Amino acid sequence: MTATSAAPATSGAQQATSVTMAKALNMGLRAAMEADPKVLVMGEDVGKLGGVFRITDGLQKDFGEHRVLDTPLAESGIIGTGVGLALRGYRPVCEIQFDGFVFPGFDQIISQVAKVTYRSQGVWSMPMVIRIPFGGGIGAVEHHAESPESFFCHIAGLRVVSCSTAADAYWMIQEAIASPDPVVFFEPKRRYWEKGALDTATAPQTTFSAAVRREGTDCTVASYGPSMPVLAKAADAAAAEGRSLEIIDLRSLSPLDLEPVLASVRKTGHLVVVSEAPRESSITSEVAARVTEEAFYSLAAPVLRVAGFDTPYPPSRIEEEYLPDLDKVLDAVDRSLAY
């Protein structure tokens, strides 16, 4: 279940051969559509516009209007008709335009997408992907900067993943589309335009697993998606101060791939979990609880969390106050090591 990826979160940003995460997702979708004629892309404005983030740019032009569907403006409709298309043998890739707009489709996700297979005792599989650009830091208005991943981690029947590099974006979206189970795919919109190295030749065995991004000995710091570059910076800053951080990209939020985290904690004795999501009853709560259950005697300090506050997402002019940043991560590391 474990893959150790050499690719650091932001390396290759200056390489000529590198691509943006947005481009990598577009390439991954294209590859999946070429490989399987049953793969459909559907959502609001995914056609001529190519989506508001251009992730589906050019796909309707090349695959036609019956494989890239501009849907009416209704998210329950996107998910609910996607369920029917999946029952018919298609592999719908549903785009939710922004994190805050998945909720009209929440009922179909929890009542049908997640339960159809269980209800039918396996007669139906549900090969659907729900793509959600998520997280803050883009100076947007309300409902455009949320981190709803914890809701989906609490829903049995779904798989939840998030990519943090261009290479992962390319491979993970393809692995998600190939999955016979529904996958909620969280894309860190703030990182869409950051570049990373991409080698399309050699496919990794799996990308739905935690990846150790940097080895270290003093404290383990784990996160996913938009915060990974923050962790990379923190590791550099800490190194400058003579502290060695082990950086882990969870990638699979549900199910959690905890082995690499546990192995790391047995080594460092300290764990800080980072996420933009509000703290209460969240993915960070789960990581803290599980790691404590399974590595109790290894922990020299409680698992500390750097997370969003338990408030609605604030106005964008003060969103930096809300978001995990270098200082907050280093402060948490300090507090952990001070135990």
Partner 1 sequence: MAPERWIKSPGADTLPDAGPGSAAVPSASQMVAGLRATSQGEGLVELLSPEGVLTPHPDYPLDVTPELLRDLYRDMVLVRRFDREANALQRQGQLGIWVPLLGQEAAQIGAGRAMRPQDMAFPSYREHGIAWCRGIDPTELLGIFRGTDHSGWDPKATRFHDYTIVIGNQVLNATGYAMGQRFDGKVGSGGPDAENTDEATIVFFGDGATSQGDVHEGMVYAAAFDAPVVFYCQNNQWAISEPVEKQSRVPLHKRALGYGFPGIRVDGNDVLACLAVTRWALDECRSGNGPVMIEAFTYRMDAHTTSDDPTRYRLADETEAWKMFDPIERVRVYLTRSGGADQAFFDGVQAEADELAARFRAFTVAMPTPGPERMFSHVYTAPHHQLDRQQAEYLEYLAGFEGDAESGAGGTVNGHAGATAGGAR
Ligand X SMILES: Cc1ncc(C[n+]2csc(CCOP(=O)(O)OP(=O)(O)O)c2C)c(N)n1
Give which of 70, 64, 55, 54 is closest to 34, Cα–Cα: 64
- Rounded distance, CA 275 to CA 303, Å? 13
Residue 140 touches which of its own copies, ligand X, partner 1, none (Cβ within 5-8 Å per kind): partner 1
* Residue 144 annotated in active site: yes
Contact residue for its own copies among 36, 37, 62, 118 (CB under 8 A): 118
* Contact region with its own copies (CB under 8 A), list: 179-187, 219-227, 285-293, 316-324: 285-293
User: Could you say which residues in the range 3-62 bind ligand X, by CB under 6 A?
Assistant: 44
Q: Map residues 157-176 to x or -, x wherever contact with its own copies holds by CB under 8 A.
A: x-------------------
- Rounded distance, CA 84 to CA 159, Å? 19
- Rounded distance, CA 106 to CA 113, Å? 10
Q: Which is nearer to its own copies, 157 or 204 (CB)?
A: 157
Q: Which residues lie across from 95 on neighbouring strands?
A: 43, 131
Name residue, tokens 């590391």.
333
Q: What is the CA radius of gyration of the chain?
A: 19
Residue 153 touches which of its own copies, ligand X, partner 1, none (Cβ within 5-8 Å per kind): its own copies
- Residues in the interface with its own copies (CB under 8 A) total 44
* Contact region with its own copies (CB under 8 A), list: 49-57, 131-139, 152-160, 199-207: 152-160
* Contact region with its own copies (CB under 8 A), list: 59-67, 216-224, 258-266, 277-285: 277-285
Q: Which residue is nearest to ligand X (CB)?
A: 101
- Residues in the interface with ligand X (CB under 6 A) total 6
User: Could you say which residues in the range 8-37 bind its own copies, by CB under 8 A?
Assistant: none
Q: Which is nearer to ligand X, 159 or 189 (CB)?
A: 189
User: Could you say which residues in the range 86-125 bind ligand X, by CB under 6 A?
Assistant: 97, 101, 104
In Å, how far are 55, 93, 159, 177, 261 from 257, measured between CA atoms? 28, 24, 12, 20, 8
Distance between first and last Cα of the chain: 32
Residue 6 touches which of partner 1, its own copies, ligand X, none (Cβ within 5-8 Å per kind): none
Residue 237 touches which of ligand X, partner 1, its own copies, none (Cβ within 5-8 Å per kind): partner 1
219-223 and 245-249: which strand pairing?
parallel
- Rounded distance, CA 112 to CA 94, Å? 15
Backbone angles phi, psi at 307, to 5 degrees: -140, 175
Shortest CB 298 distance to partner 1, Å: 19
Structure tokens at 305: 């969390």
Task: Name the amino acid, one letter, at 178.
Answer: A
Q: Assign 139 to helix, strand or coil.
A: coil
- Rounded distance, CA 38 to CA 178, Å? 11
The answer to whether the CB of 322 falls within 8 A of the CB of 313 is yes
Catalytic residue among 143, 144, 154, 270: 144
In Å, how far are 36, 57, 85 from 111, measured between CA atoms? 27, 31, 16
Q: Which is nearer to its own copies, 218 or 286 (CB)?
A: 286
- The yes or no reply on residue 333 touching its own copies (CB under 8 A) is no
Is the backbone of residue 281 left (phi > 0), alpha (psi -120 to 50) or beta? left
User: Could you say which residues in the range 54-73 bind ligand X, by CB under 6 A?
Assistant: 73
* Residue ranges that bind ligand X, judged by CB under 6 A: 44, 73, 75, 97, 101, 104
* Residue ranges that bind its own copies, judged by CB under 8 A: 100, 103-104, 106-107, 110-111, 114-115, 118-119, 142-143, 150-151, 153-154, 156-157, 254, 278, 280-286, 288-290, 292-293, 296, 301-305, 309-312, 339
Catalytic residues: 144
